[in-house]
Chains A and B, each alone.
Chain A
Amino acid sequence: MIRASHKQRGFLAAILHRLSGIALAIFLPLHFLALASALNGAASLDRFLAITRQPLIAALEWGIVVALAIHMTLGLRVLLIEFFDFREKTLVPISVCLAAAFAVGFIFILNLG
């Protein structure tokens, strides 16, 4: 039986926010290392970018872009509740956050081509 507190929308938002944050925290040092390959010249960075074109890596890249968007939008929701006394009454705010995040992900895929 799933306890009732874990079926609340606030819990879902908090878990998505937390998991996306963990993913980003793991990703960031790798991201910085990848970019720093430019120190060895543009060709070095290009070699790395070629890896990101593999389907699995591209999918993970999409995941990180969506994670960043989710973390930001849900984080804005928290800031609104904490600092602007925002009273959430329905699922709408969280839905808007997630919709915007997945819209970003969608545009990302479209632009990757």
Chain B
Amino acid sequence: MTAVLFLAQRATASVLALAVVVHLATILYAVRGGLTAGEILGRTHGNVGFALFYGMFVAAVAIHAPIGLRNVLREWTPWRGRSLDIALALYFLLLLALGGRAVFAVFSA
């Protein structure tokens, strides 16, 4: 991959390292005794700090995942070139859109 993609992937990796530790800790805590929508939404509703954190998380992963997938597809399949890059750009937009929507959903529900 190019130096720019490499930088983007490693930089978002550093961000995600922290975010994932927080997310895993949250998951382990939240699933105790079963998970209900009420419990989740009770914590996320109107919680600006939460929305900012997970908004940043979504942005970082939307950048990180497509770059990783690009390496996998270029190395393990014959697909490469412009069409691959466009497909992955669309995947980036998909993650950003769906992720943003999910953050909004639990913030406003």
- Tell me the A residues contacting B by CB distance below 8 Å: 18, 21-22, 24-25, 28-29, 31-33, 35-39, 41-46, 49, 52-53, 65, 68-69, 72, 75-76, 79, 82-83, 104, 107-108, 111-113
Chain A interface, >50% SS class: helix
Whether A76 and B17, one on each chain, are in contact in the complex, defined by CB atoms closer than 8 angstroms, is yes
Chain B interface, >50% SS class: helix
Min CB distance B6 to A, Å, is 9
Whether A38 and B98, one on each chain, are in contact in the complex, defined by CB atoms closer than 8 angstroms, is no
Cross-chain contact of A72 among B20, B28, B98 (Cβ < 8 A)? B20
Whether A69 and B109, one on each chain, are in contact in the complex, defined by CB atoms closer than 8 angstroms, is no
- Does B89 sit within 8 A of A, measured CB to CB? no
Whether B35 and A32, one on each chain, are in contact in the complex, defined by CB atoms closer than 8 angstroms, is no
Whether B27 and A108, one on each chain, are in contact in the complex, defined by CB atoms closer than 8 angstroms, is yes
The residue of chain A having its C-beta at the shortest distance from the C-beta of B97 within the complex is A32
A92 to B65, CA, bound (A): 28
Contact-size category for B: 35 or more
A53 to B28, CA, bound (A): 16
Residues of A within 8 A of B40 (CB): 38, 45
The residue of chain B having its C-beta at the shortest distance from the C-beta of A33 within the complex is B98
- Tell me the B residues contacting A by CB distance below 8 Å: 10, 13-14, 16-17, 20-21, 23-24, 27-29, 31-38, 40-41, 61, 65, 68-69, 72, 94-95, 98-99, 101-102, 104-106, 108-109
A79 to B10, CA, bound (A): 8
A39 to B108, CA, bound (A): 8
The residue of chain B having its C-beta at the shortest distance from the C-beta of A78 within the complex is B13
Min CB distance B32 to A, Å, is 5
Residues of A within 8 A of B65 (CB): 21, 24-25, 28
Whether A72 and B21, one on each chain, are in contact in the complex, defined by CB atoms closer than 8 angstroms, is yes
Residues of A within 8 A of B16 (CB): 72, 75
Residues of A within 8 A of B106 (CB): 35, 38
